[in-house]
Amino acid sequence: MEYISAIPFLVVMVFFLLLYSSGKKKYAAFVQALDKKDYNMKDFMPAGFAFMELIKYKYASNLDRSIRRDLAELHDKDYIEFYLRVTWALAATGGLLGLVLATMLFAAMNGDVTYLALGLALAVVLVWAAFQDTRQKVAARHNSISIDLPDLTNQIVILSGAGLTLRGALLKIAQEMPSETPLYQMLDKVAEKMEHGATDEEALDILTTQCNMPEMRRFVSVILQNMHRGGTDVLTALGEIGRELWSARKAAANRIAEETTTKLLFPMMLMLIAVIILVVAPAVMGMGI
């Protein structure tokens, strides 16, 4: 029985090593372009790329369209297809490693199905986490933009009131503000396009494409209307948007605070367990004596 329970592990391990070997050279450039901090399974991802090639996946499902929309906010349009394949390769790698672990536990525990189920559950979690990671990055990006957008709106109102056109105000802010957050990084791209002869619509399209938020779409709509028609009503409209955005900023700050509290909960639970063990262990050992 011990030898029989080891057969699934050997089969899965050989399959994984074959995939890794075939993908290591072919996808070396793909893997090398990834940041280890963002892709902690980077070293094993050649197997994921090779697996996706093996099953001839077409990247044409509803899930793929949803992932593309998220990736459009995180990366330039030229790299969306690359990162879509990276996402699937990461998911495949997690699933394969989970399957290796599941069959290894099954073999180590002499065919105990419970451990096989635990390993398979881990594989499912790793696959889910690969897709969830992109959405979490988009959500964090939206929170950051929600915090910065009220300030940007107020700066535009002040500069426009001082006599600058909206285009001039955007260019001045892009030149003077440090590009350390997603909003001002996008604004740098907008300014660069404007300076290279792009139309206002083409330049500002970056904001709505790389930040698919209702607040941003409304903000861009007001800016474009003023650039087309002119008028003084834009300052009033931007002032109203600014007040609404300050409320959204408070909500974003509250979300970040709640997420921080949630992240601290797990370490606190581990510390509590450690304290309980330190308190209870001497008593239990004393009873054993």
pLDDT tens for the chain, residues 1 to 289: 456 778 889 999 999 999 999 999 899 999 999 988 888 899 999 999 999 999 999 999 999 999 999 999 988 888 999 999 999 999 999 999 999 988 988 888 888 888 788 888 888 988 999 999 899 899 888 888 888 888 888 888 888 878 888 888 888 988 888 878 898 899 999 888 888 888 888 888 888 888 888 888 888 888 887 776 655 566 677 777 777 777 666 666 666 666 666 556 656 666 666 666 666 656 656 655 4
The 10 Å CB-count burial string (b at 16+, else e) for 165-193 is ebbebbbebbeebeeeebbbebbbbbbeb
Shared domain for 148 and 107, answered yes or no, is no
Structural domain for 187, as ranges: 144-251
Shared domain for 106 and 157, answered yes or no, is no
Domain annotation covers residue 180:
yes
Shared domain for 235 and 162, answered yes or no, is yes
Domain annotation covers residue 65:
yes
Domain annotation covers residue 93:
yes
Q: Residue 223 has what pLDDT?
A: 82
214-229 and 113-161 helices, crossing angle to 10°: 30
Domain annotation covers residue 173:
yes
Measure the N-to-C terminal CA separation of the chain; round to a whole number of Å.
Answer: 39
Pull the structure tokens for residue 204: 């500002």
Shared domain for 106 and 186, answered yes or no, is no
Q: Residue 19 has what pLDDT?
A: 95
Domain annotation covers residue 101:
yes
Shared domain for 96 and 149, answered yes or no, is no
The 10 Å CB-count burial string (b at 16+, else e) for 105-141 is bbbeeeeeeebbebbbebbeebbeebbeebeeebeeb
Domain annotation covers residue 14:
yes
Q: What is the pTM of this model?
A: 0.77
Q: Residue 233 has what pLDDT?
A: 65
Domain annotation covers residue 256:
no
Shared domain for 155 and 107, answered yes or no, is no
Shared domain for 149 and 84, answered yes or no, is no
Q: Residue 150 has what pLDDT?
A: 83
- 111, 129, 154 — which closes off a domain? 111
Shared domain for 90 and 154, answered yes or no, is no
Shared domain for 164 and 240, answered yes or no, is yes
Shared domain for 192 and 243, answered yes or no, is yes
Domain annotation covers residue 43:
yes
Domains identified in the chain, total number: 2
What CATH code is carried by the domain that includes residue 236? Answer: 1.20.81
Shared domain for 30 and 93, answered yes or no, is yes
Q: Residue 165 has what pLDDT?
A: 82
Shared domain for 83 and 16, answered yes or no, is yes
